[in-house]
Amino acid sequence: MLAKVNACAVIGLDGIVVDVEVDLAPGFRPPIVIVGLPDASVQESKERVQSAITNAGFEYPRKKVRVNLAPASVQKGGPAYDLPIALGILLANRQLPPQCLVDSLVMGELSLDGNVRHIRGVLPMAATAQQNGFKRIFVPVEDAPEAALIPGVEVIPVSSLSDLTAHLCGYAPIKPQVPIEVNDLEIIVQTDFRDIKGQEHVKRALEVAAAGGHNLMMSGPPGAGKTLMARALPAILPRMTIEEALDVTRIYSVADQLPPDVPLIRARPFRAPHHTISHAGLAGGGNNPHPGEISLAHRGVLFLDELPEFGQRVLEVLRQPIEDKIVTISRASGSMSFPANFQLIAAMNPCPCGYYGDPVKPCTCSNSTVTKYQKRISGPLMDRIDIYVEVPRVEYEKLSDQRLGESSQVVRTRVENARTIQRQRFSDNGIASNAEMRPADIRHHCVLDDTGMSLMRAAMNQYQLSARAYHRILKLARTIADLAGVEHIAPQHLAEALQYRPRSILQ
């Protein structure tokens, strides 16, 4: 007898419906055969399924079991096919009602005793079920809140194979998961701006970066507060919209990095990988490619501390995602793309000892050592950074001052006002911030008066700015004008934008 159960495969961040076809035929050896491009983890499901069926109190058929995962052209990986294979065997062996899984999608890993375990990628699977018209999905009980984020699909939480079969037979119905109500998304404040002493010009630069989604580099001696201020940035970023939160959660679901009791990522991601990270760890990869750090930072912040210590090949992989907001991973079997619309915040010391140019502690590095250290970061990568600020050591008077500065909430209000202006400006072309403007948008929205054009011409001639640097300065000036709440870019806005370019790389 032939039975079919609907399952789902996740390719990149998208789901594909998989038909799990089970056929029982005369014979005993081999007891079960799985075809349809399964990987090793799917092949291992043979033993899990057989033990789970037996330990759940059912009879495993004394026949040859053939399992086909269609379409056969799609690679199948992971243990999520355990539960649909087990149900297919029970259906084919007539131990379940024949129509009990109509309009249903099933996913879950089985333990040997028949319990159903957590799997990765439930959110894109649930979205696929909705898009393909399925009425209900059966998922592991701990993944049910995540699946319930998708409206219009009934989510049935499954704790064991025996509980699910009792539900399908009508003996003990399982109560559906209550849909998750998504309200205003919270902002988690770990470091408040008011607790940062001094460094007013750096905090201003961070505010400008947050308002326009610009990349930023901080350079200064050890202990000046670079890491502290970078970790304070998420608190002044605008709240994520529901669509952005679902977009981020889908990535974390596929990467299996969702916290157990957090079905929805509510705060903007802040990723700070160590400088020993590999190329694949940053960009993503593997035999079945998974998102890397730059995709896990999507809609949030990617913080690279001690930037020159990262491998040169690792850093150069950032160049294309910074421009295109997407990273493409190619393999012999095909290629897949992951979103990578992140805000890059980098920090570095000016030299190996960290005190080059410091007025208090002398530098012990030679000029050639300093030059070699700074050249670890390529010019094309630095050209993609909009804001460059020097972070000096904090004086005792400012450290001991008990007065508090502006709170992150006050700064965030200004940032959100500027972002509101940008959303209205770009409402018809899909751009979220000034940093994403294309040349046509720059030409239309970054018009300079005669004084501004003269200032820009002088900067181009003196510092030999590249075309990319020219456009980035105009984007930055547009953001500064938005923070001021004015429609046109004034010379003072352009002058501040030029001050954020490092003199050593103005090219």
Domains delineated in the chain: 2-168 (3.30.230.10), 193-428 (3.40.50.300), 437-507 (1.10.8)
**Residue 164 has which token pair?**
């699910």
pLDDT above 50: residue 484: yes
Beta pairing partners, 70: 19
Quick one: average pLDDT of 384-392?
93
Between strands 32-35 and 64-70, the pairing is parallel
Phi-psi region of 268 (alpha: psi -120 to 50; beta: other; left: phi over 0): beta
SS3 89: helix
Of 275-279, 337-341, 429-433, the poorest mean pLDDT is in 429-433
Could you tell me the pTM of the whole model?
Answer: 0.89
DSSP code at position 185: P
User: Could you tell me if 503 and 227 are in contact, meaning their C-beta atoms sit under 8 angstroms apart?
Assistant: no
Residue 456's Cβ-side half-sphere holds a number of Cα atoms within 13 Å equal to: 23
Element (H, E) at 111: none
Peptide bond into 61 cis (omega under 30): no
Element (H, E) at 272: none
**Residue 88 has which token pair?**
């297919």
Would you place residue 333 in the very low, low, confident or very high pLDDT band (cuts 50, 70, 90)?
Answer: low
**Residue 470 has which token pair?**
């020219």
Of 123-127, 287-291, 350-354, the poorest mean pLDDT is in 287-291
Cα 453 to Cα 381: distance, rounded to the nearest angstrom: 27
Cα 142 to Cα 140: distance, rounded to the nearest angstrom: 6
pLDDT above 90: residue 405: no
pLDDT above 70: residue 506: no
Cα 8 to Cα 81: distance, rounded to the nearest angstrom: 8
Q: What was the pLDDT predicted at 359?
A: 87
pLDDT above 70: residue 504: no
The label of the residue with tokens 């992971």 reads 78
Cα 49 to Cα 186: distance, rounded to the nearest angstrom: 42
Angle, vertex CA 82, rays to CA 97 and CA 118, nearest 5: 110
Q: State which amino acid sits at residue 13.
A: L
Element (H, E) at 11: strand 2-11
Of 177-191, 242-256, 381-395, 440-454, the poorest mean pLDDT is in 177-191
Q: What was the pLDDT predicted at 286?
A: 74
Angle, vertex CA 375, rays to CA 373 and CA 376, nearest 5: 70
pLDDT above 60: residue 399: yes
Q: What was the pLDDT predicted at 143?
A: 94
Q: State which amino acid sits at residue 175.
A: K
pLDDT above 60: residue 226: yes
Q: What was the pLDDT predicted at 404?
A: 80
Q: What was the pLDDT predicted at 507?
A: 35
Cα 104 to Cα 137: distance, rounded to the nearest angstrom: 5
User: Could you tell me if 230 and 303 are in contact, meaning their C-beta atoms sit under 8 angstroms apart?
Assistant: yes
